[in-house]
Every structure is written in C-alpha cells, then in structure tokens.
Chain A
Amino acid sequence: MGVSELEESSLLFDEKLLRFMDQLELLEEKRATLNSLIEQGWFSMSKARYSMGNKQVSALQYASEIEPMVFVHARTLDSGEVDFCTERVPPNRESGKDVRSIENIGPQDEGVRRRNKPKNNTTEKEANVQTGDDKAPEVSSVKKSDTNSQQDPLKWFGILVPQSLKQAQSSFKQVIDLSAEIATLQTSVLNIRQELKNSMKDKLTLQEKASGAKLDKAAD
C-alpha cells in the first residue's frame, strides 16, 4: 500500500518536474526573442536619431500630458498562477482626424502658396489674410489634438518622423506584448517550483514511512 502511494507521488513529482522544465525552456525562448526585439528597437531608434539629429528622440521631448495606450489585465487562475494579457486602446476618431490634420499641414502647403504670390500689393495682402484664414482651422485642429488624451507618442518627436522611428515603435509594441507573456511564464515557473517543493517533502515523508515499515518487517 505504502509503496504504491510512494510510486504515485513519484510519478506526480516527475510530471511536475517535466512541466517545470518545459516552462523554463519556453521562458528562455521568449527571453531570447524579447532581447533581440529590444535590440532591434534600439537600432531603429539610433537610425532615427542619425537622420533627425543626435539630440532628438530624448527624454526632453516627452509630452507634458501622457496617457497610457496599453493596459495589462492580470487574472489569477485557480492554480495560483497569474495570467497577464495586454490590451491596446484602439485609436479613437479624434486621433484619426489628428493624423489627417498633420498630413495637411507642413511646409509643402505654405511653399506652394508663396510661389503663387500675385504681383498686385492689395491682392497680396488679401492673399495673406486668406492664407492666414486658411491656416487658422488647421492650427486649431493641431491644438485640439494636443489636448486629445490619446496622442500617439510618435508625435512627441516631430510631425514628420522617419520610418525608422516607426519601426522602433512597432518593435517596442511587440516587446510589450511579449513582456506580458514572460511575466505569466515567470509566475507559472515560480508556482510550479513551489508545488515541486511540496511534493518533494511529501515524497520524502512517504519514503521514510516505507523504509520504517520495511525495517519493522525485517525485525519481525
């Protein structure tokens, strides 16, 4: 009876140990992916800095109002493990407008208008007033976008940012998703480790009992 119980607990222990090793392997794999993605992100950021100027893309350019666009949901499972999953806030309609307004403004529009300057002074003034009027709603839309809570962090670093900065952003977005998975794996590894410790203790007590019973038999 005691021996079968011991066998059972040994099997259970082995099962847990295998699960533990699997989780560790998975953790190591995800860690490697995370590290390479972060490196890729830094590389893209450095490329962006190379084209924008070395003082660009720095902490000094962070916005004065920062709203999170990613949230993590932590769910505690029955086994005691915690499952982390990320949720990205979808860009709202204001941010859609925002993008369009940013595409509309810029040096090209102004340049075109200046090139078509009329010769007449009075019409020139009128034209200036008109361009001023034209610009006014654009400026106000940009101001509106500043107050908009869901501003894309890319815009902190300029209106027309290089492609490499967008690549850096996408790398870091992947890193964020992966970090939630790694956090889940870490809690799972620690949880299984605790379970293993407990089963090991149980197994040791069962072994002691079994060896005690054997000795008793031998003495009889």
Chain B
Amino acid sequence: MAGRGKLIAVIGDEDTCTGFLLGGVGELNKNRKPNFLVVEKDTSIAEIEETFKSFLARNDIGIILINQFIAEMIRHAIDAHMQSIPAVLEIPSKEHPYDASKDSILRRAKGMFSADDFR
C-alpha cells in the first residue's frame, strides 16, 4: 500500500464512468466502497455532495474527475476545496460541452486582476 500511488476518482454520468473504468481507474476497496459514482436522473444533489466530500477526505485519491454539469450542482463544495491534492478536474459530458468560464480553476485564475486581490 505504501509504494502504491493514489487513485483517480470519477463522478459522472454512466458513459463517463464506463469510459474511465474501461481505462482502468476503478476500484472497489475492502469495504466495498467504490472510487466512482454513476450519477443518474434520480441521484440527489445531497448524495453527490456527500460522495464528493468523502472522496476529498480519502487520502488514497489523487485526482477527482467530475462532469462539469454535476460540478455546477455542487459548485460551493468545489469552490471551497483549496488544497492541491486531490486535484479536481472538470470534464465535459455527452450532453453538456465543456465551458471554460464555469471552471473553478480558470475562474480563480481569471480573478487575478480583480481589486480584491491587491488589498
């Protein structure tokens, strides 16, 4: 376990999760806890947020990939995460193309020249 690297977690729609699991990122640990969440129509925002927070709390996760439209639902939780590890990456989904203006990281970078930064 010590020499092993960290995992990549995925929160996304079925096709996104299937794709990344095909790529080999999936894990079901000893407690049968997966490192992915397939978000369906009936998945509640509370469940998504709880899963996201549980991924943040796990120290064996290095990157969290999340569909941007799902990230929009829990934007406050993503904005509140300031640590470098795990890194949160917003990715497009089939129905929702990637919009850089919504990305938490790029919005933070864009805010560089705001007046607040120089106070």
Number of CB contacts from chain A to chain B under 8 A: 141
With A45-B15, A74-B62 known as contacts, the answer to whether A189 contacts B24 (CB < 8 A) is no
Which residues of A have CB within 8 Å of B24?
68-70, 88-89, 153, 173, 176
With A67-B27, A68-B7, A73-B6 known as contacts, the answer to whether A200 contacts B117 (CB < 8 A) is yes
Decide: A172 and B23 in contact? CB cutoff 8 A.
yes
Decide: B18 and A58 in contact? CB cutoff 8 A.
yes
Which residues of A have CB within 8 Å of B25?
68-70, 176
Q: What are 6 A-B interface contacts by the 8 Å CB criterion?
A: A45-B15, A59-B18, A72-B8, A153-B22, A153-B23, A189-B109
- Interface-lining segment among A109-117, A131-139, A180-188: A180-188
A66 to B65, CA, bound (A): 18
By beta carbon, the residue of chain A nearest B19 is A172
Which residues of A have CB within 8 Å of B17?
59
A196 to B91, CA, bound (A): 27
Decide: A172 and B7 in contact? CB cutoff 8 A.
no
Decide: A190 and B109 in contact? CB cutoff 8 A.
yes
Decide: B23 and A42 in contact? CB cutoff 8 A.
no
A189 to B19, CA, bound (A): 28
- Interface-lining segment among A31-39, A98-106, A121-129, A212-220: A31-39
A62 to B35, CA, bound (A): 13
Decide: A58 and B19 in contact? CB cutoff 8 A.
no
Mark contacts of B9-38 with chain A using CB atoms, 8 A cut-off: 1 yes-contact digit, 0 otherwise.
000001111111111111110000011001
Number of interface residues of A (CB under 8 A): 57
With A45-B18, A168-B19 known as contacts, the answer to whether A65 contacts B28 (CB < 8 A) is yes
Decide: B26 and A68 in contact? CB cutoff 8 A.
yes
Which residues of B have CB within 8 Å of A73?
5-6, 62
A12 proximal to B (CB < 8 A): no
CB-contact partner of B100 in A31, A62, A65, A72, under 8 A: A31
Decide: A179 and B65 in contact? CB cutoff 8 A.
yes
Which residues of B have CB within 8 Å of A34?
91
Decide: B100 and A84 in contact? CB cutoff 8 A.
no
Decide: A193 and B112 in contact? CB cutoff 8 A.
yes
A19 proximal to B (CB < 8 A): no
Decide: A179 and B89 in contact? CB cutoff 8 A.
yes
Nearest CB of chain A from residue B6's CB, rounded to whole Å: 5
A3 proximal to B (CB < 8 A): no
Which residues of A have CB within 8 Å of B89?
179, 182-183, 186
Which residues of A have CB within 8 Å of B18?
45, 57-59
With A35-B92, A72-B6, A204-B118 known as contacts, the answer to whether A190 contacts B108 (CB < 8 A) is yes
With A42-B94, A190-B108 known as contacts, the answer to whether A68 contacts B23 (CB < 8 A) is no
Which residues of B have CB within 8 Å of A197?
112, 117-118
Within 8 A of B (CB), among A53-98: 57-59, 62, 64-74, 76, 81-82, 84, 87-89
